[in-house]
Amino acid sequence: MAGELLTKFEPQLSEVRIVPSEGGRFEVSLNGELIYSKLATHRHVEPGEIAALVAEKLTTDKTEGNG
């Protein structure tokens, strides 16, 4: 997943960090904002889902002047 994100969004991302956790958590944050939580959705991500969420967040931040 980290490789996919770097390949698709290298110019926009300065870092992709994977942090181990416990208790069934899988969370993805971008610029300090939680964009996916397995605990909240009660399911695993689908292929490409995280990349789509990152693209959406980057587009939203850019149009709102935050990126």
Residue range 12-33: average pLDDT? Answer: 87
Number of domains in the chain: 1
Q: Is residue 64 part of a domain?
A: no
The alpha-carbon radius of gyration of the chain (Å, integer) is: 12
What is the C-alpha to C-alpha distance for residues 6 and 2, in angstroms, rounded to an integer?
Answer: 6
Note whether 28 and 10 are within 8 A (CB). Answer: no
Name the residue range of residue 10's domain: 2-57
Q: Is residue 67 part of a domain?
A: no
Q: Is residue 27 part of a domain?
A: yes
Q: What is the pLDDT of residues 11-21, one digit of tens each?
A: 998 888 888 88
Q: Is residue 66 part of a domain?
A: no
Q: What is the pLDDT of residues 49-62, one digit of tens each?
A: 999 999 999 998 88
pTM for the whole thing? Answer: 0.81
pLDDT band at 35, cuts 50/70/90? very high
